[in-house]
Amino acid sequence: MKLPRSMSGWTVAAFGATALVMGVIGLVQPDILLTSLGFEVVPAADRAPGDHTRTFMAASSMASFNMGVYYLLAAVTDWRPFFRFTVVFRLVTTVVFTVLVLTDVAPARFVGVALWEAVGAAATGVALLVERRRATAAVRR
């Protein structure tokens, strides 16, 4: 089994592993994921006709699972352009989730999702900067 080769790779791997695990949980036990995100869990028998919560949970959980695999693959191959790309788009995700909470579209617990994205983007961004400075310093020697 290959492991990430850089600090930035480890930050990407941590997010990938989390996304993969959350995807599996959402596919296998969607009620656990719904509860952790602050949503009320309504038994299947009590759902209104046309309620597609389970369908949405399956689709978003599969997307999370796939994203986790992509991030883990990028981490073990040390795909730096992908790392940089994730910093930008995780910050976009931070803004979107924050706006969803502020506009009462999502429950307040989604602030935790926004913070997770922001911290992950910052960790990867800082790691990339540190690695670039070390590489520049090594070239100067």
pLDDT tens readout for residues 69-126: 999 999 999 999 999 999 999 999 999 999 999 999 988 888 999 999 999 999 999 9
CA distances from 94 to 6, 87, 121 (A): 24, 11, 9
pLDDT tens readout for residues 24-75: 999 999 999 988 887 889 888 888 989 888 899 999 999 999 999 999 999 9
pLDDT for res 19: 96
In this prediction, residues 17-27 reach a mean pLDDT of 96
The answer to whether residues 54 and 44 touch, using CB atoms and an 8 Å cutoff, is yes
Whole-prediction pTM value? Answer: 0.88
Measured distance CA(71)–CA(15) in Å, rounded: 7
Region of residue 40 (phi > 0: left; psi between -120 and 50: alpha; otherwise: beta): beta
Residue 140 has pLDDT above 80, yes or no: no
pLDDT for res 84: 97
**Residue ranges of domains in the chain:** 7-43+51-140
Q: How wide is the angle at C-alpha 93 spanned by C-alphas 17 and 66, nearest 5°?
A: 35
pLDDT for res 14: 97
Share of the chain above pLDDT 70, in %: 99
